[in-house]
Structure 1
């Protein structure tokens, strides 16, 4: 029996069966006993393969996402420590993305234990305006977690997808979105406080538990899996692009400079300048690469282009950028750049463009002080053949506010 248990394929099969049993209604306690008897240790990579297999076999991402907290609780205390040394090494290197992610997690845990939880206890005894204001401030700070999740989704996940690891990122992204929504809901309840302190305390505690659970999943499943998969060069690129997204509660004190990557970069920078200044001939003129890039970046809106195979090929970097973009999205499937809850809308729109049923689609979103207008256009050649889709995103609030006429130049 021990030979079977130690067989990796059989262990993977058992893991899938356990999740399926949970899916079919069994409680965590019911499967824990079987889990303890049959499984001695579970590597993060095996959890990844398990989720991937379940989704490939037809289980909806939303179902795996719903089970995420349950199976994490089952695995807690049983995940093998085989990658601990490698993760620990990265964790100790200041400026390494893993070190930064973990420092952020320590900051989040500190905010929860030193501020939010004591304030929630105080709320149960005294729902004064002062304690309500303190909690609003706490949850405003906690929502800074959005930057932590955004770096994970827009910088780390693309590299996992490159290696064929697609299901766990989609599941985790979905849970990230649920946590974001839960934090916003707690803030809304606090801002519109109506005296129901028990309801708010319950909702807030549930949200904090989900945040803590995500920290566990990151540090015991995601980060070891990433360290086992990504190269040093890829970690360096993640570090370089992290500033654009931002950080949660902390700022890295130093930048990580692996010697091999630094030397590689120095060699890259010696490329012949004349090659960079080559001209691109267009039907109505010609531009060199620098002129073209800066012209597109100067336009007062964001441009993103995906090719006919739905692969992200280009995005502009205007100063008025509304949604975060990092170079890691280049070469990535556009379906993997959207949360699971909205990816079906993107897929339907692209299907309409490719079939010729539509040539454009518009969306608009009210985001507080800005009004975001998002337009999608099918790009076709002179024969009508589909080449890809261009997305144009703009804050049109200043345009909406225009009235009268302006015929003279500003002073």
Structure 2
């Protein structure tokens, strides 16, 4: 529970904290509408009035969220007394709207102070009675449940309030939460972490800005990704072909040396970079091993790093525009 005497030190996004955020908006609108001449500045008056009338969202949240929770705790006063107060203010809004539609400027000028005074009086009761007692009666789980229900009604705020309770950032490496699978597992395979369909895997590999070729432990090419902008062209004919026949004679000796070093366990990686068609290409070979460190093949990755090499400093914002 929260301290009823300390209604201003509430967590961001707490329902009562949001009511106080709205209060600032309401006070500003009341101050404005009280000084506007409805005849000389009718459009300005109308704009302020329309904004002020969104206080209906505040009334609806109290009536449909806050009051029911208080009733469960045995406090029925707000449902009986304050709801009637809301209805009186609604009637004043309707009366002023009729005055506005009829361009009855004198009546608008006469009736506006009653609306202003009524809203101020309501907020005084909220701050001195309703909110402090609600904070004393209701537990945190009540407020959390209430906040979820408020999402459907909305607020007077220009932007959606901060979540409540606050969403704590957890680094992916430290996130061990077991979650319900909210996506279909049909036709998927389970990988070390996660599930993907064959189509998704193909799309992933096609989209990666890398040329990837996988050679198995028998030195046969068993896979390459079919990206749209491959550095080195490939065709389906290489599948099942011995890797030594997939490289030009001048480089095949180096490739075989790499594979032999991977097989005997003396090396796990080899890197090269070459100029190819006026682009700088980074080529890397990685040994693939199972959990027992047995050799299972080699991955060859090629990447055009010409533009990457030019990067300096930092860029933390989008540059789409």
TM-score (norm 1): 0.39
Structure with greater helix share of residues: 1
Query: Rg bigger for which structure?
Result: 2
